[in-house]
Structure 1
Amino acid sequence: MKARCFYCKRLGHIASACDRKSKKQHQVADLAEEAKTGHVEDMMGVYVCSESHAPPIKAEVTIDGATVTMEVDSEASRTIISAATYRHLWIKPPPLRPKNFKLVTYSREALQVLGATYVHVTLGNKEAQCELFVVSGEGPSLLGRSWFKALDLQVTNK
């Protein structure tokens, strides 16, 4: 029997030898959601599949008065920004509350959650108070499902 890569799902190699892994994307899933459903597949829905791919869907979001470009990510359970973005977004950043659960990338690599804070968010004509998670390092800001209802966002197959 041949090995199946947990990263790209192809047969013939394992994730540590995957040539597609170098094109990693910063997508999160909530381990608590996985535990509820019992399906690992729920958090592994996006793959780097070919040379040509659709560019990310981006949205200009105002967070506490500052404009941030975020990738809309329907597979991300939470909305996140990197520590680098957090430091640059505010003159005096709001304090972060510790969170006691883990976020992982779609390839199951753990993200270091620095904490969360509530922010005032505006997207188009919608405004809301939403919880924003800050993770260590650098990476794209992801507008995850945790903000969809508050900002009236929907994913459809039209």
Structure 2
Amino acid sequence: MTLREAFASALQFLRARQGLSQHDIAPSVAQSYVSRLEAGKRSVSLEMSAELADAIGLHPLSFLAVVYAAKDGRPAHEILKLAEQQLTEALLLQAVIAQGSERTPQRRKAEAAQTARAVLEQKNDGKTQAETARSLQISTSTVGRYWHSDS
């Protein structure tokens, strides 16, 4: 079963179990959209998934546990137990992520900034562009780009 099919099955199952209509669970979207979700013809955003879970009376994680249980053909408690085990092993079970926490720069941007600093350091030490390129094992065009960005 695909994830989309599992989502469709779980949504339909949970909605019917609560005795709710398609219109009841998502008043901010068209009933036809919910119908297409339940038919597995549409994908869903995280925001919409959370809204649907709330309308059904579940936490979004509980809702997704039911979805993944349907996908894997396992009970939801096994999915949740696996999640707890993985989070514990990764030392994340007790972690709290602060809102607006500082984002880490993308790896390439960080590497580029490090290269720029190294080029400018060599320039300040009186090295030529060719010497800097050989020393840092980068192309002379890369050295030239950072060399002239200081001015």
Would you say same fold, with TM above 0.5?
no
For the aligned pair, the TM-score class normalised by the smaller chain equals under 0.3
Q: Which has the higher contact order (CA 8 A, sep 6+)?
A: 1
| Structure number with higher strand proportion | 1
Q: Which has the larger radius of gyration?
A: 2
TM-score (norm. length: structure 1): 0.21
Greater per-residue helix proportion: 2
- What TM-score comes out, normalization by structure 2 length? 0.21
